């Protein structure tokens, strides 16, 4: 089989040399063992980096034809960079892996074996998260819990975007045109035979996480809004409960007015619901707006990435 390894890179000058060395020896090792063909390739996708990343990629490409480079004209985010790599790279199967060597590259062989045993999708799943700090671990666990709750059991916990996909899985992925991309949610929807391979997650080899809290939130919002309408149903439920509540308050008010003599002009009972309902309404409008924004970007259907340069293609 012909294998392609797709590596998205954003400002990864600190790790790139080590990454390309390690991936190169892995690839050559697999070629020598006869597991994969000699025209297997490593595809670096430069996601509009502002440092020397593209220069380093070009150097690797000049050194050996097993390296290929794709340069995006602008930073489009991890998910779009992955997509660019998946759609441009050649191979009977493609493996996507982060540039920072946090994922165990020796799992690649097990993934290839699973592919040869007729699995179309092989997920790399982390066994434990000891190396991440408490905050990252806590937010990640919360994230997977909420996603699972909102989108059903299809999503796979502790699976980042380290996975193998067969050619036909990738060709079918092309039918999903969404701009708000959440690959971890889309891939299980393809429905092909899949398998999980476990590994230990390492510390980032060098450099800093390119997923600051802002990006983590935006990924989580994409995951929820593009896979679940449950937040919209929650709004309906809140509306319904508020309606029931105001019905019983109406009864109470009428009863107080006509059957008792302590109907003092109520301040608290006027002001409290006002603030409460105002808050609920603004929250609900916010949720609606979130979906509307997503619809807006889907309707525009702008290209998900633009390639400005390619090497060794």
The binding site for Mg ion (CB under 5 A) comprises: 98, 100, 102
Q: Find the binding residues for ligand UDP in span 11-70 (CB under 6 A).
A: 12, 47
Q: How far is the CB of 103 from Mg ion (least distance, A)?
A: 8
- Residue closer to ligand UDP (CB basis): 47 or 104: 47
- Cβ closest to ligand UDP, residue 10 vs residue 115: 10
Of residues 182-211, those binding ligand UDP (CB under 6 A): 209-211
Q: Which stretch binds ligand UDP (CB under 6 A): 7-15, 30-38, 234-242, 253-261?
A: 7-15
Contacts of 101 (CB under 8 A, 6+ apart): 15, 18, 19, 22, 202, 204, 205
Phi, psi for 292 (deg, rounded to 5) = -65, -40
Asked whether 93 and 115 are in contact (CB, 8 A), the reply is yes
CB of 37 to ligand UDP, least distance (A): 26
Candidates 75-83, 164-172, 217-225, 252-260: pick the segment binding ligand UDP (CB under 6 A): 75-83
Work out what residue 184 binds among ligand UDP, Mg ion, none; the CB cut-off runs from 5 to 8 Å by kind: none
For 156-187, give one letter per residue: b (16+ CB within 10 A) or e: bebbbbbbbbbbebbebbeeeeebbbbbbbbb
Q: How far is the CB of 81 from ligand UDP (least distance, A)?
A: 4
Answer whether 39's CB lies under 8 Å from 2's CB: yes
Q: Which does 9 bind (CB under 5 to 8 A by kind): Mg ion, ligand UDP, none?
A: ligand UDP
Nearest to 56 by CA among 207, 215, 161: 207
> In this structure, what token pair is assigned to residue 100?
């920072």
Q: Measure the CA–CA gap between 105 and 7, rounded to whole angstroms.
A: 12
State the residue for tokens 């790790």.
Answer: 15
> Of 41 and 76, which has the nearer Cβ to ligand UDP?
76
Query: Least Å distance between CB 209 and Mg ion?
Result: 6
List, in sequence order, every beta strand (DSSP E) within the chain: 3-9, 41-46, 67-72, 93-96, 121-126, 163-166, 194-199, 307-311
Nearest approach, Cβ of 223 to ligand UDP (angstroms)?
14
Single residue of 4, 77, 85, 91 touching ligand UDP by CB under 6 A: 77
Selected from 9, 68, 101, 235, the binder of ligand UDP by CB under 6 A is 9
Residues in touch with ligand UDP (CB under 6 A): 8-10, 12, 47, 75, 77-78, 81, 98-100, 102, 209-211
């Amino acid at each position: 089989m012909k294998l392609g390894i797709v590596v998205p890179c954003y400002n990864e000058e600190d790790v790139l040399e080590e990454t390309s060395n390690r991936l190169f020896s892995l690839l050559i090792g697999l070629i020598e063992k006869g597991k994969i063909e000699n025209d297997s390739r490593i595809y670096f996708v430069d996601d509009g980096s502002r440092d020397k990343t593209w220069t380093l990629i070009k150097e690797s490409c000049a050194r050996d034809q097993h390296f290929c480079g794709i340069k995006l004209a602008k930073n489009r985010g991890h998910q779009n960079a992955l997509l660019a790599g998946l759609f441009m790279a050649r191979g009977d199967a493609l493996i996507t892996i982060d540039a920072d060597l946090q994922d165990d590259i020796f799992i690649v062989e097990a993934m290839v074996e699973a592919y040869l045993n007729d699995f179309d999708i092989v997920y790399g799943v982390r066994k434990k998260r000891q190396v991440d700090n408490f905050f990252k671990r806590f937010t990640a666990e919360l994230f997977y819990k909420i996603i699972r709750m909102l989108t059903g059991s299809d999503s796979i916990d502790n699976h980042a975007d380290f996975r193998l996909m067969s050619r036909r899985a990738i060709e079918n992925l092309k039918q999903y045109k969404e701009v708000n991309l959440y690959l971890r949610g889309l891939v299980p929807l393809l429905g092909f035979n899949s398998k999980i391979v476990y590994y230990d997650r390492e510390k980032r080899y060098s450099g800093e996480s390119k997923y600051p809290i802002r990006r983590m939130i935006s990924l989580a919002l994409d995951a929820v809004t593009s896979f679940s309408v449950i937040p919209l149903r929650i709004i309906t439920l809140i509306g319904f409960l508020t309606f029931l509540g105001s019905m019983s308050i109406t009864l109470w008010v009428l009863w107080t007015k006509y059957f008792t003599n302590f109907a003092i002009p109520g301040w608290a009972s006027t002001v409290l619901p006002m603030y409460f309902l105002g808050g609920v309404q603004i929250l609900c409008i916010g949720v609606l707006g979130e979906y509307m924004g997503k619809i807006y970007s889907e309707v525009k259907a702008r290209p998900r990435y633009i390639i400005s340069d390619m090497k060794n293609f």
